[in-house]
């Protein structure tokens, strides 16, 4: 996600009452950092030195982690909120 998209995303969360806004913003900042580092690797492979077998193994590891992250993100949509039981010591409002 580019910096402009993050700023737009942040602006959209300003009016959102989600408690998790800061978490989403932090995750997006981390993803942007990863994208930047991957672009650096691509530039290095293109003009500094060719990929090695170790690079290929690390790339496969990254791809696997990215797939797992995508599945975990989609799984968040399936979680059903279950409110905690009411405390019998606290009067209902």
pLDDT in tens, 29-87: 999 999 999 999 999 999 999 999 999 999 999 999 999 999 999 999 999 999 888 87
What is the pLDDT, as a whole number, of residue 25?
86
pLDDT at 23: 87
pTM value is 0.70
pLDDT at 1 over 60: no
45 sits in which H/E element: helix 21-47
Which residue has 């996600």 as its token pair?
1
Q: Alpha-carbon distance 83 to 80, whole Å?
A: 10
């Amino acid at each position: 996600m580019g910096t402009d998209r993050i700023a737009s995303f942040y602006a959209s969360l300003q009016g959102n009452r989600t408690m998790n806004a800061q978490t989403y913003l932090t995750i997006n900042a981390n993803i942007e950092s990863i994208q930047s580092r991957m672009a650096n690797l691509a530039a290095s492979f293109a003009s500094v030195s060719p990929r090695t077998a170790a690079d290929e193994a690390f790339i496969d590891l990254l791809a696997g982690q990215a797939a797992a992250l995508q599945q975990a993100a989609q799984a968040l949509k399936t979680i059903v909120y279950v409110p905690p039981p009411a405390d019998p010591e606290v009067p209902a409002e």
